[in-house]
Chain A
């Protein structure tokens, strides 16, 4: 299975600031996904990030608020911009697994609290 790490594991931020979350995978993967899990809720897909192309955002999520980078096949970043308390969530990155591409594997998540 793919081993995924995320930084930071948690952070407490002030309203109006931005935070960049890093996701590192131990193998090359084509597609990486960013999810948000609001308190007490399930996971919602923010965007899909392919290397060499712009991320594809789901309905309700925009690039200005959640810019994503995907500079290579093992790394991606998600920035939460101009944060408000409503952005307090766990943010998780995931990848299609290796060797089983059908299985999706998740990072440990970044717990964000916005004051």
Chain B
């Protein structure tokens, strides 16, 4: 069964710290991997998309890496801010999955001022 796991489930850090969120997936045959942000009671905002042929993507203070062979991705957030507080979701489009995404359970991040 194709599954996506995120660790930790929750993380609390002081403002200014750099942090890493982890995502693992059970099948290395992926098409791409996408990181989302979800604020409480809201929809999802796409942060970064990594194609299976890529190793990393960067957007501002965010950097996402992909190691397909080990079934892992990380989201690195530099110089965290209270406004970064949200739930971060990792989603994988597995090869042959007809374009739908399989989501991890998310990491709830709190950045303390």
Contact = CB atoms under 8 A, between A and B. Distances in A.
Interface of A: 1, 6, 31, 33, 41-45, 48, 56, 58, 90, 92, 94, 96-97, 100, 102-109, 111
Contacts, number: 61
Report the contact-size class of chain B (Cβ under 8 Å from the partner): 20 to 34
Interface in B87-113: 89, 91, 93, 98-106
Interface stretch (B11-19, B36-44, B58-66, B70-78): B36-44
Interface string B17-44: 0000000000000011010100001111
A100 B98 CA distance: 16
Contacts of A105: 46
A42 B106 contact: yes
Nearest to A103: B49
A94 B101 CA distance: 10
A46 B51 CA distance: 25
Contact of B44 (A1, A92, A96, A100): A92
Nearest to A56: B98
A106 B41 CA distance: 13
B104 A45 contact: no
B42 A43 contact: no
Contacts of A58: 100
Interface of B: 31-32, 34, 36, 41-46, 49, 51, 89, 91, 93, 98-106
B1 to A, nearest CB: 11
Contacts of A92: 43-44
B43 A96 contact: no
8 contacts: A42-B104, A43-B89, A45-B100, A90-B41, A102-B32, A102-B93, A103-B46, A104-B46
Residue among B51, B91, B99 with most chain A CB within 10 A: B99
Contacts of B106: 42
B99 A48 contact: yes
A101 B41 CA distance: 26
B43 A42 contact: no
